[in-house]
Structure 1
Amino acid sequence: MENASAGMAEKPESMLEIRVELTDVEPKIWRQLEVHSSLTLDVVHRVLQTAFGWEDMHLHRFVAVDPFAPLGPVDGDIPETLQWLPRQDCAEPGDRPEEVLALAQLLALGGGGACYEYDFGDSWLHRLELVTQRPATDGTPPARVLDGARRGPLEDSGGFAGYEELLEALADPAHPDHAEHTEWVAEITGTDEPFDPAFLDIQAVNHALAAQVHTCN
């Protein structure tokens, strides 16, 4: 799992505590992660997918700055925002392969922060913020969830606005879309159990991450 970039290979391994929060979402959906600094962004992508319960059904990208913040001109030109994508998806001049950049390097470019966008249609933007850094010790998992709040939104739920409407319909049996949305959620989740947006099983997530580490090694 630790496909470190060449630039990080000679540096001592460290553990990064990262807060990852979905932007523009209320109540907050977030994870506190501890990850090896040398994990490349393709691996971090898989960690984030597992941590938030995504199913890797859509495109994604990493950027060192908010991709939707307005950029001021530099020498009369608007600078191009670099973005890191899977190698096969790189097509524009500002595209870089995510497989060659370590998480620590991306955070350094962003002054301790970065962004991860998943599903360019629903546009789930995750803000990554470095909290602390410490030396790695033997036996420390390459990635684990320390804390968090609420389950990740369902795939293809229409971004925050669509997800909010979905939750409102599920919570109100008298809502005209209650039956339809309940059936859709059961199909997506594979269970008829009531959907609880506040549910988060950190132990199960870490078990899944440990299995992922085993697969990647």
Structure 2
Amino acid sequence: MTIENPVSVWRLKVELLGVAPAVWRRFDTYADVKLSQLHYYIQGVMGWELMHLFSYQDGRGYGCQISSESLLCDVCRVGDALTYTYDFGDNWQHLVTVEKAMAKPTGAYPRVVAGKYACPPEDCGGPWGYGDMLKVLAGRRNAHRRELVEWLGGPFDPKAFDIDEAGERLTEYVEVSVPQPVA
């Protein structure tokens, strides 16, 4: 006997604002996810490393802060968006859009379904620093470029996106996002 899950599953699109090429991810999650937990999911699918503070604001540009204790379904409907800001120093802003409700959800959630381009590295200076970094990497080989590649820990391909890697990171971050019982 199959029991239908009464909780809706939503498809979200997360777009990193202010960078080129455009970096985005699509993933499915339960509509009643707490925003504090959604933070972990966004970190996982994007490729961030949970190193900095975050906040949510109204996605219509009013700048109203939204509590991370809120449920996604309490602050959004299908077609709505939130702004998720990560790392207040670098000021990475993401538009999180609820694209659709899944008609007949099956399987385990959350899960990554698509994406494009690599997430910028942590602490590279926000959209402006990232743009400068890409210019240096695309330029002539010189001491500055060698230092940057060393700082990055090796070559960086801004066009790379590995859906399997994003899925593995999402699974890992889902596990650490679940509150542990107090002993």
Q: Establish whether TM, by shorter chain, passes 0.5.
A: yes
Q: CA RMSD in A?
A: 2.3
Alpha-carbon shift at residue 213 of structure 1 (Å)? 3.5
Task: Decide which of 57, 75, 79 is 1:106's aligned counterpart.
Answer: 75
Alpha-carbon shift at residue 104 of structure 1 (Å)? 1.9
Aligned match of 1:39: 33
Task: Decide which of 83, 96, 103 is 2:65's aligned counterpart.
Answer: 83
Aligned match of 1:89: none
**Structure 2 unpaired stretches of 5+:** none
Q: 5 Å matches for 1:173-184?
A: 173-175=140-142, 177-184=144-151
Structure 2 residue identity aligned to 1:201: D
Aligned match of 1:196: 157
Superposed CA deviations along residues 113-142 of structure 1, whole A, max 9, x for unmatched, are 11100011111110011211025645x222
Aligned match of 2:16: 22
Work out the CA distance in 2 between the residues paired with 1:149 and 1:65: 22
Work out the CA distance in 2 between the residues paired with 1:149 and 1:207: 16
TM-score normalised by L of structure 2: 0.84
Contact 1:20–1:127 (8 Å) recurs in 2: yes
TM-score normalised by L of structure 1: 0.72
Aligned match of 1:144: 111
Aligned match of 1:154: 121
Aligned match of 2:57: 63
Count residues in correspondence: 174
Work out the CA distance in 2 between the residues paired with 1:17 and 1:53: 18
